[in-house]
Structure 1
């Protein structure tokens, strides 16, 4: 019967052991209560069965918060999976700009300004302290300097006296970039505090002005500084924006990773019911994983509101990685101990009891 087949599919939400024990009984009750001629379950029946099955998978019928912990675990694991997938998808990006491309863009945007000989180019798509990630850089990555793992790019500065005023240079650069097909964002300025105290005159503090533009997959960032303070009045950087594959890869991997994490959590929850150290291990894991996420998200959100970003910071930076990767690794170790605990046979197995509510 069509109705029987639909009910059996919905009962897959319940754990296999529960279906073996009570599946046929539940199916019989559902069929007995269905009116003659019905071919599909009602929406409320489907929702109740799926909700009851998912709750049954979590076990711990006396707990009122196990569902919250399951959602938090699935969500953070989905985010980490999405970040990993987005990093892999970044490999579809074009190589970072080379010296010739940088020099051409500089001449296009800043005519009359002399580019210095010291033009830096990236040796990899992402670098740490300007170098590709290697075994030698793992210590920096894990022990506090993970924030130096950033997208590479090409950069250089103007040398010599400034041929025109900053205002004229900004206006010329904006006009020429727009004519060349760049999307130019409104410049932003920030007063840099180089002194403190009552004798510090705010009017004497250097002002940093940033011009950001994007064309295709290339992002330009021009920073105007006070040459008396920084030695150069103009620093220009070119980087690649996130390739189109990053967003779909992150979304798909995040959904799959979150769903799998929920199923693993449900299995471990049933297996560790009654074991005292399981909630402690779970609490340690979630704290060490969620604390960097919340701190980094709050910081980056303010940063994005303060200045234009044609290309957002990579997802892993929003999760506090790899800056706080040591937190993640310790949390991962606690999670692995929890899984090993779940794999260990329990001496006093308890029967699975759950309400169909």
Structure 2
């Protein structure tokens, strides 16, 4: 009985219709060929049964690549699902820093320096052109401005003249922040390439950045040369809350698994039907190309600049910058599922050899 129960569990890898027609036959064959006293399938035998069952779910026996397409579709859908879950999990974060918090941090890190005007605060965790995302923002987001949907932050600037040189200000800030419990990174300097063809290359402006983090608060202080109205700009924002990573991983695994099952079901149901492969190809192309183009640029960006926390997952997938492409791909994928819902008179369970 134990061996029979194990085999029945493994046969769940096959489609339901196939199990109804051939399940008992396969089970009988497996039990007849099992040696006396065997209580559970061998690992290799179990893997062969699962592999054969999953391949049977995909249908299209003549295709050698359908398994690859299924895995890639499950992967991109899992990433999209993980991105959505990550955005929802961001709602567990504290609001972006207010004026009082930024003023206190500025006073702690830069004693003797004065703020130049009021602190500019963010009205939401994520903003679109500095404002919360609204329905009227839908058109610009879809038509190329989606990259402006970013994490909010509070901004402040120091008033000239600077009471101390940059090197002394940096040393003081690092020491005071470290004493207050911040994790302080080494400052980085970059020579800005803003010169024209006749400018003096030896006098190009230098930008120095100091990044520190305490709990869920990230401080980014940027020191400028005399060509700027302020010699010091400060940006304070929240880091990703702890719930983001587990929510994204769990949702990604569930979404990817469901996407694979949906692909397999649609693949069996639409085998031999015209127009399905072009629709799937369009969806696959419009989903993967933005991700393949965005990932290398973000990797380079992270290597060039200090990042206490990674950019949100959806940006790695080219979203919402390429949200219009995503929606067109989603419509094509939905059309494939609609075609798969239409009954087929010639639909028969596939025969798959069990090794």
Per the normalisation by structure 2, the TM-score is: 0.97
Following superposition, the deviation at residue 118 of structure 1 comes to: 2.8
Task: Using the TM superposition, name which of 304-313 and 340-349 deviates more.
Answer: 340-349
Per the normalisation by structure 1, the TM-score is: 0.97
CA distance, structure 1, for counterparts of residue 274 and residue 219 of structure 2: 55
In structure 1, the partner of 2:150 is 150
In structure 2, the partner of 1:220 is 219
CA distance, structure 1, for counterparts of residue 184 and residue 252 of structure 2: 33
In structure 1, the partner of 2:183 is 183
Structure 2 gaps, min length 5: none
Q: Is the 8 A contact 1:59 1:354 kept in 2?
A: no
Q: Is the 8 A contact 1:74 1:261 kept in 2?
A: yes
In structure 1, the partner of 2:84 is 84
CA distance, structure 1, for counterparts of residue 279 and residue 191 of structure 2: 46
Structure 1 gaps, min length 5: none
CA distance, structure 2, for counterparts of residue 348 and residue 293 of structure 1: 38
Please tell me whether residue 211 in structure 1 is matched to residue 210 in structure 2.
Answer: yes
In structure 2, the partner of 1:324 is 322
Following superposition, the deviation at residue 355 of structure 1 comes to: 2.8
CA distance, structure 2, for counterparts of residue 18 and residue 254 of structure 1: 29
In structure 2, the partner of 1:40 is 40
CA distance, structure 1, for counterparts of residue 292 and residue 249 of structure 2: 20
CA distance, structure 2, for counterparts of residue 102 and residue 351 of structure 1: 65
Q: Superposition pairs for residues 1-357 of structure 1, below 5 Å?
A: 1-197=1-197, 199-228=198-227, 230-346=228-344, 348-349=346-347, 352-357=350-355
SS in 1 for 2:250: helix
Following superposition, the deviation at residue 196 of structure 1 comes to: 3.8
Q: Is the 8 A contact 2:208 2:223 kept in 1?
A: yes
Q: What root-mean-square deviation, in Å, do the aligned CA atoms of Structure 1 and Structure 2 show?
A: 1.2
Q: Is the 8 A contact 1:155 1:235 kept in 2?
A: yes
SS in 2 for 1:270: helix
CA distance, structure 1, for counterparts of residue 346 and residue 11 of structure 2: 28
CA distance, structure 2, for counterparts of residue 5 and residue 35 of structure 1: 16
SS in 1 for 2:127: strand
SS in 2 for 1:147: helix
Q: Is the 8 A contact 2:17 2:349 kept in 1?
A: no
SS in 2 for 1:102: helix
Q: Is the 8 A contact 1:316 1:322 kept in 2?
A: yes
SS in 2 for 1:156: strand
Q: Is the 8 A contact 2:195 2:201 kept in 1?
A: no
Count residues in correspondence.
355
Q: Is the 8 A contact 2:115 2:159 kept in 1?
A: yes
Q: Is the 8 A contact 1:129 1:148 kept in 2?
A: yes
CA distance, structure 2, for counterparts of residue 225 and residue 342 of structure 1: 60
